[in-house]
Structure 1
Amino acid sequence: MTSSVFNGAENLALIRGITPKGLGFLGSDLQGRHFSKVSLISSTRISKARTLTPKCSLSAPRPASQPRFIQHKKEAFWFYRFLSIVYDHVINPGHWTEDMRDEALEPADLSDRNTIVVDVGGGTGFTTLGIVKHVDAKNVTILDQSPHQLAKAKQKEPLKDCKIVEGDAEDLPFPTDYADRYVSAGSIEYWPDPQRGIKEAYRVLKLEGKACLIGPVHPTFWLSRFFADVWMLFPKEEEYIEWFQKAGFKDVQLKRIGPKWYRGVRRHGLIMGCSVTGVKPASGDSPLQLGPKAEDVSKPANPFVFFLRFILGAMAATYYVLVPIYMWLKDQIVPKGRPI
């Protein structure tokens, strides 16, 4: 995440800094840093929240032309045709645990069993399992472009009453002012145009509805940053906040999450690294106007280029499967209380 480092989330303390525009920050233990319009404090154990003055501006987003091996939705589709077989057993234990899921969903305020929820990019339903702890399954819709991932979700007994829909996160098949809550976990990294996806989140929500977007963080360690940048989208915290604000959301907050063995300095980035929420202040579509989509999935792809990008993307993904194993081993070896 830019050039800063921060601590793991095992000793989570919620912090909220209020600014004139209502933007807050929810965070775990961290090393001191400043964000535009975001207030936070540096501490290893925090009992009381304090308000600090922001001292820097948003950093510029990475260029849209930056290469990513898995960025075309067709490539992601085929990638998950195979990954869906082992997703719950290989990816989730290292990057998206049940504790992380429940912690990340907390700011979504899923407190009413009758809440209408759309889980965008819901995949195998792992995040949905956390949602239906608080909301009746019949009120939850799981949307994903991968029928292979959705097939796994259908097999889970707690989700049998959920609606299952194949669809595009950047062009949602829901009417305007439809849902009370929008949740998306581990999907934004595949979106060619994240701003468009967040604009759609705004559109489908009702007045005062809340969006909760959970996604990866940009690494600080050079090798992890290299693999992240060529693999898929690992946004900076500032980018998440800016996308939400431009879409029209108010009360935008960001909460850092991570597995408990990421204690001390966390440099490698996470496939699930933060939870961002925002509230829709007015009915109707987002005030943001956008041009044509950045990607045309109907356009034929060169088979050789498609295969090469798929293989290179899978290699980068393998690196991020190994990172949590490496961090878990360090957590077992390095004495407790020392940063790793």
Structure 2
Amino acid sequence: SGAAPTGVGFARSNFYFRSLPRKSLFCYTKNQKTRMVVAPRCSISSSRPASQPRFIQHKKEAFWFYRFLSIVYDHIINPGHWTEDMRDEALEPADLYSRNMVVVDVGGGTGFTTLGIVKHVDAKNVTILDQSPHQLAKAKQKEPLKECQIIEGDAEDLPFPTDYADRYVSAGSIEYWPDPQRGIKEAYRVLKIGGKACLIGPVHPTFWLSRFFADVWMLFPKEEEYIEWFKKAGFKDVKLKRIGPKWYRGVRRHGLIMGCSVTGVKPFGGDSPLKMGPKAEDVQKPVHPLVFLSRFILGTLAAAYFVLVPIYMWLKDQIVPKGQPI
């Protein structure tokens, strides 16, 4: 454990600013839309060993999980956790200001996030990478993405040369990585000097039942962990922007599958200054069928729970008068 790095900015909209704890925070207004907050000192949870993956972090198990989830992903999962408004707000810090930018969308899945990218960048300059052929099959069916390059690959071992892209985007993928630090190190490597990484992912819940299902299902990092991973990889000007469904009214105790957008700038060319050993995960090691089945069932139950949470929060938003906490 340790302390969150000091002097790191958290960029966030005024709507979600109310959800930040006010104690021990120093705030100042940068403009009317965005505020910067210096992170409080707090403990960083220990990294989960790659030898003990949560269900969705084991590549073989996740392959079969997404084999079935891909059928309903855009229609069941996204409406409750990753709306178009959230997507556009989360991509804003990526600063996609030119249609000629080279962009890699890592863990692009069905291409929902990529649809937001190609609003600003020509599709021919965008590469979608994912490990699930079933998810990518959905992306290939989307007309605005027809000119994108769509490839299978591993976020922790990207098939791109060093200093390749202007922007690195990854949304809803880090929870699947056995070693998040390695994936962020790869993000640094493939970017050009001055390039920016934008990583959008979940945040850890504090409510006990949500925390239980989160911890058995997939990786829900704490906000300070994102900052730590980016800084260790060598990124500068690291910022975190909180996002969430509007009907949550800023509530974050149940965790959010899409809860923050973290950005960092690559200051120097070449590989990341962070040195890491070989990958520890052995995806070829056979898994006992009963162990796999039990973990698959538990993971499916956890997924079902997080499908129900946004419905529960939507009902509370409809019932509880506006202006009152939910």
TM-score (norm 1): 0.88
Structure-2 separation of matches of 1:211 and 1:283? 14
TM-score (norm 2): 0.91
- Post-superposition offset of 1:148: 0.4
C-alpha spacing 1:143/1:218, structure 2 compared with 1 (3 Å):
same
Structure-2 separation of matches of 1:205 and 1:53? 26
Q: Which runs of 5+ in 1 are unaligned?
A: 1-17
- Post-superposition offset of 1:337: 1.1
- Once the two structures are superposed, residues 90-116 of structure 1 have per-residue CA deviations (whole angstroms, 9 ceiling, x without a partner) of 000000000000000000000100000
- Checking the alignment, whether the CA contact within 8 Å between 1:254 and 1:275 is kept in structure 2 is yes
AA aligned opposite 1:261: W
- Checking the alignment, whether the CA contact within 8 Å between 1:34 and 1:40 is kept in structure 2 is no
- Post-superposition offset of 1:137: 0.1
- Once the two structures are superposed, residues 124-163 of structure 1 have per-residue CA deviations (whole angstroms, 9 ceiling, x without a partner) of 0000000000000000000000000000000000000000
Q: Does 1:61 align with 2:46?
A: yes
C-alpha spacing 1:214/1:315, structure 2 compared with 1 (3 Å):
same
Which has the larger share of strand?
2
- Aligned pairs for 1:279-294 (under 5 A) are 279-294=265-280
Match of 2:137 among 143, 151, 164: 151
Structure-1 separation of matches of 2:33 and 2:146? 42
Q: Does 1:90 align with 2:79?
A: no
Structure-1 separation of matches of 2:124 and 2:81? 28
SS state of the match for residue 281, structure 1?
A: coil
Structure-1 separation of matches of 2:115 and 2:36? 35
Which has the larger share of helix?
2
- Checking the alignment, whether the CA contact within 8 Å between 2:193 and 2:269 is kept in structure 1 is yes
Structure-1 separation of matches of 2:73 and 2:80? 11
- Aligned pairs for 1:261-272 (under 5 A) are 261-272=247-258
- Post-superposition offset of 1:305: 1.5
Q: Does 1:114 align with 2:100?
A: yes
Structure-2 separation of matches of 1:132 and 1:297? 33
The aligned counterpart of 2:3 is none
| Percent identity over paired residues | 81
The aligned counterpart of 2:20 is 31
Structure-2 separation of matches of 1:163 and 1:39? 44
Q: Does 1:169 align with 2:169?
A: no
**103-112 vs 58-67, which moves further:** 58-67
- Once the two structures are superposed, residues 45-83 of structure 1 have per-residue CA deviations (whole angstroms, 9 ceiling, x without a partner) of x94877776552552435436662222111111101100
- Post-superposition offset of 1:220: 1.1
Cα RMSD, aligned residues only: 2.1
Q: Which runs of 5+ in 2 are unaligned?
A: 1-5
Match of 2:89 among 89, 103, 110: 103
Which runs of structure 1 show a deviation greater than 3 angstroms over 4 or more consecutive aligned residues? 38-41, 46-55
Structure-2 separation of matches of 1:231 and 1:324? 17
Match of 2:225 among 239, 252, 260: 239
The aligned counterpart of 1:3 is none
